[in-house]
Structure 1
């Protein structure tokens, strides 16, 4: 007997790129039959390898597999009457529809929630956008570099004052949004199954970023207290919340959300017992009143610069101070903690290469690790998907001839 909690649930994913696909991937891992609707040209995400420093190889496409493993794919030309008819036949069998189409495109296609809810009263309609459904910018193109990192405050707030914004990487905001969407989907699915009531679930890159930055967005209202961002880390409100350079050129991040709880332990750990009882540097109220936080920062930085990573780690561990080494991507790939907690999967590709792929970040004890079936080729399961909803071989061939259905030939 299968322990997959969503076995028997059908999901139609009318989406491209990452955020919505993340939601579909997670549902697929939980046993849902996720059918991705793709255009004949293919999802643009299939072709992003050069921007990520990977070879462009459709048969070893790690990003595509991360977002689309365990799904099936049908390539329908939704601009043709027969292609759109096939889509609605699929939707007749679905529990969930996931889309990231912009509002205007959904309206033109007659695929808004308002257009569908009368015919599909139990449908969970899940939608993610760049900036949200409403407001003056609802139809802008939205990617995590723009709607999440830039508009959402990361780039301006988290840069070192006087420097350019930090480098960002693709997928970070999208994955966040996708998992938020999943939370809403699962709640709405429970309601649909227990009460027979459908629901529209929405989120956006921008809204997610606002929530993620919520503590500091709220704190920004108190303009006469603290230092406004962007800051020079030497002048932060809590000088112990920083990354410290070691003798061997690495950085160790400490986390001391309450300065007063950690100050004495940290000073002892770095060999500055002479400052443990300093009224100048303790409590934090004294530090902020006299503006000497930068001195505390310099003291700690100077001390840790005399230690190697191993020496510093041993001292901080012994003092029970939260810290972590700032790891590279290459170090993450071999991190024993990550492997022990099912963060990774070794994928053997048909070309003979074995690559490390990342799993979604939720584990289930009874279900265990889900299988990791590579993402589908364009329209790969088109025939079988259509046969399941009653199409004959002749009808499928006609659909291909009329360019309503596309199946990529290897």
Structure 2
């Protein structure tokens, strides 16, 4: 089965999460992704857990999350033979992904200038913690550090107590932004014939999704603060207690609010609840009034009534519930692959679907170095084909 990038070759020098996630996204679109790992242990995320699975509990589920649809080769980038192999692969690749600290590729003899000397059409994706330049460029960056430095933790959790987002969202957003930049650079290359460097960082990725929180400060002069499980600008919009737990209700306009008010027997036109501005100003009172009414019935009852009324509402699911949910599976968000050690396993699936394409056939995350011989055969074939084409010209 073919994907939109089935003629693209990606050389993935990255490790941990941001770079591997970007490369995995490109692989989900059909690209051949060759993952380069150090022979001694490979990608550090192979050792991150728990949980670990397999007969000897030696396989990291963390690694499995970011490395499907890839081939693995073991290469020591500091050795002459390793650098020679990477240079050969660079000549036959379309994209190189790296998330080393600033200057590391230069010290390995693989500067941007050298990469483009080897292959002028190469698109290079470079992901750093805080940017490749500037007064703090080159700082090492991990997800939670970036969540704090980029302000996300100040917006998350109960008021006055910063919380990290549960998923490694700085890494993942950097990977998503990076893949998006690569797609744009590949499109530009069709016009110019030349590749370029695409740069992003964990800092840039999180700052880039501040959205209305950002403009609250840059335009409105107000520093946003954490609001727990309720929206920073809309009311009622958040998590509410009912008889047997919590449910979520999002009334984003006055029409939706009137439907909620009718179900809960609240006067929607009283002065303090008439408009979103009024409701937000009296949000604590509004939450109390709503929860008093919601306490009369359980979650299932209210979700059914809200659904009938056309009000956006939902449960708060645990991950086992998410992956068992028929809607999740209907969207291709769970894929099954045949792992050489674990057998058939399910992985979180890609978030994109293309009309008219069934998508790529997914392969399991590779064992360290398992594809060395296959990649060398493919590389030799590509080099021989290039030589014949050159002779014919």
Q: What range describes the TM-score normalised by the shorter chain of this pair?
A: 0.7 to 0.9
- Which segment drifts farther, 189-198 or 232-241? 232-241
1:177 aligns with 2:169: no
Q: Which residue of structure 2 aligns with residue 241 of structure 1? A: 237
- Could you tell me how far apart the structure 2 residues matched to 1:351 and 1:160 are? 43
| Shift in alpha-carbon separation, 1:126–1:279, aligned structure 2, 3 A | same
Question: TM-score, normalization: structure 1?
Answer: 0.85
Shift of 1:113: 2.1
Gaps of 5+ in 2: 382-393
| Shift in alpha-carbon separation, 1:270–1:59, aligned structure 2, 3 A | same
Q: Which residue of structure 1 aligns with residue 43 of structure 2? A: 43
Q: Is the 8 A contact 2:153 2:162 kept in 1?
A: yes
Q: Is the 8 A contact 2:178 2:199 kept in 1?
A: yes
User: For 1:151-166, what aligned pairs fall within 5 Å after superposition?
Assistant: 151-162=149-160, 164-166=161-163
- Which segment drifts farther, 11-20 or 233-242? 233-242
- Could you tell me how far apart the structure 1 residues matched to 2:63 and 2:130 are? 24
Of the three residues 186, 204, 207, the one matched with 1:210 is 207
Shift of 1:194: 3.7
- Which segment drifts farther, 291-300 or 8-17? 291-300
- Could you tell me how far apart the structure 2 residues matched to 1:115 and 1:361 are? 35
Shift of 1:381: 1.3
- Could you tell me how far apart the structure 1 residues matched to 2:43 and 2:352 are? 26
CA RMSD of aligned residues (A): 2.5
Gaps of 5+ in 1: 392-410
User: For 1:119-134, what aligned pairs fall within 5 Å after superposition?
Assistant: 119-134=118-133
Shift of 1:343: 0.2
Of the three residues 367, 374, 382, the one matched with 1:377 is 367
- Could you tell me how far apart the structure 2 residues matched to 1:261 and 1:111 are? 59
| Shift in alpha-carbon separation, 1:10–1:244, aligned structure 2, 3 A | same
- Could you tell me how far apart the structure 2 residues matched to 1:228 and 1:165 are? 12
SS at 1:128 equivalent: strand
- Could you tell me how far apart the structure 1 residues matched to 2:137 and 2:37 are? 23
SS at 2:179 equivalent: helix
Deviations 1:334-371 (A, max 9, x none): 01110011000234544566433101211123331422
- Which segment drifts farther, 64-73 or 350-359? 350-359
- Which segment drifts farther, 307-316 or 347-356? 347-356
Q: Which residue of structure 2 aligns with residue 404 of structure 1? A: none
- Could you tell me how far apart the structure 2 residues matched to 1:17 and 1:356 are? 21
Q: Is the 8 A contact 2:87 2:118 kept in 1?
A: no
| Shift in alpha-carbon separation, 1:205–1:216, aligned structure 2, 3 A | same
Q: Is the 8 A contact 2:229 2:239 kept in 1?
A: no
Shift of 1:223: 5.6
1:66 aligns with 2:56: no
Q: Is the 8 A contact 1:121 1:197 kept in 2?
A: yes
Shift of 1:83: 1.2
Shift of 1:98: 0.8
